[in-house]
A = this chain, B = another copy of it.
Amino acid sequence: MIPEEDVKVAIIGGGAGGMAAASRIKRLRPDWRVDVFEKTSYVSHAPCGIPFYLSGMVESISELCAYDVNFFREKRGINVHLNSEVVKVEDGRVEVLERGKVQEYEWDRLVFATGAKAKRLNVRCMELDGVLCVSGIERAPIIREIASKYDNIVIIGSGYIGVEVADALSRKKRITVIEQESHPMPGYDHEISDILLGEMRQRVNLRLGERVLEISGSGRVEKVVTSADEYRADLVILAIGVEPNVKLALEYGIEMGQSGAIKTNEYMETSKNGVYAVGDCAETTNIITGKPDWIPLAAPANKMGYVAGSNIAGIRMKFPGAMKSQITSFYDLEIGKAGLSEKEAVRHGYDAVSVTITTRSRAKYIPGEGNITLKMVADAKTHRVLGVQAIGKGVSKRIYGASALLYKKATVEDFFFADFPFYPPKSPVWDPLVLAARNMFRKLGIS
């Protein structure tokens, strides 16, 4: 099963997944030629860091890149082509627009790591100055520049990115956040997002249940018109989600999954022999449901790259999927989720039961604010836990614990008996995860 010598690998996209694949291949097969074609002038870029750049916590945009391009070129021997756009893919060759002209490169193995792109709003006047997306890191300096000069900032969308950007900018500016759903963070159930809603109302002008109809201005943006009202805007930040960037793969005839991302198997192989897909452009398996899912997050992207790279280099390895484990925060509230919300569980056909508790995140005799609200969702038939969401203090460690147990398809009994550490300043003797499981026993009629 050892592949032939002198294999040429082409990787389209130099983000997390692409660079992880390239690095893995060069480690296992130092003599192979690995070309990475990256449209922007950054590699290994971390769009998840943009909110911290916008807040000023991170000074320079270049710090958001895990490594400099020279690291990949010199230390790892990868041929990184910056500002190079692949314009055509054919069997065994790609055409690349590089320094003003089209170059041709041959490949024996190909990796699509083309990432995701920000969704656009289907409204008029999107082309005005001052209307920007938080997706690639290239535009982030422009957002920071405009945000520093003007006062009226409108953020459209209140998913993770919208909330993080609102946090980052609202410390100095008047922020309006527009969300078409009834609650911020629509991926969460209301027991959790109600608490976020309360905090956001104190920090920003939060407009819920409003649909954006128009973004208008002459030359540059002046206002955002919604189904309910209109808002002055010197800067509009679009954060309504992303979609997989699959144009090239489609043109090449690669099969797509139900999610609209590139269909892959456990080895990260696509429908064509020798062609792989990783990261935000690739579909994978949802570990909870066992069904195909699109999970555009950085940590799984890196692992997909690692797995694809291993397989390309001749070490068979399976990627088991992901489950959208996430943590974020808004001011003093930590917010996190692993697995499914109750509404997602119902949508997937589970006989879902849930428990929501509000309790101390640490021993009650330790002074200071320390509440956490935690919701656990389980399947009534199998007692398997399907998801955990939490908001308040000490959320990270519970989402770590929950992610680990969910990964191992744990039941409510497992959540009760898993031996989490007790340390008064950090955790109470009955951990919130254990308390939730204990309450779930009653719901399930176990005791």
Interface residues, chain A, with chain B CB atoms under 8 Å away: 16, 28, 46, 48-49, 52, 57-58, 63-64, 66, 287, 297-300, 302-303, 306, 310, 315, 317, 319-320, 322-329, 336, 338, 363-367, 396-405, 407-408, 410, 414, 416-427, 429-431, 434, 438, 447
Contacts and interface: CB of A to CB of B under 8 A. Distances in A.
B364 A66 contact: yes
Contacts of A419: 287, 299-300, 322-325, 338, 403, 407
A303 B329 CA distance: 32
Contacts of A396: 396-397, 421, 423, 426-427
Copies of the protein in its oligomer: 2
A141 to B, nearest CB: 15
A323 B408 CA distance: 18
B303 A422 contact: no
Contact of A49 (B325, B338, B363): B363
B64 A430 contact: no
Given A315-B447, A364-B66, A366-B52, A414 B424 contact: no
A58 B424 CA distance: 11
Nearest to A63: B365
A334 to B, nearest CB: 8
Contact of A297 (B310, B338, B400, B422): B422
Given A366-B52, A419-B300, A426 B327 contact: yes
Contacts of A400: 397-398, 400-401, 404, 420-421
A68 to B, nearest CB: 12
Nearest to A301: B429
Contacts of A325: 419-421
A399 to B, nearest CB: 5
11 contacts: A49-B363, A52-B425, A63-B364, A299-B430, A324-B419, A397-B397, A398-B400, A401-B404, A403-B420, A404-B420, A407-B414
A320 B413 CA distance: 10
Contacts of A438: 306
A79 B369 CA distance: 34
Contacts of A48: 363, 422-424, 429
Given A46-B363, A365-B64, A426-B396, A421 B403 contact: yes
Contacts of A338: 419, 421
Contacts of A421: 299, 325-327, 336, 338, 396, 399-400, 403
B408 A365 contact: no
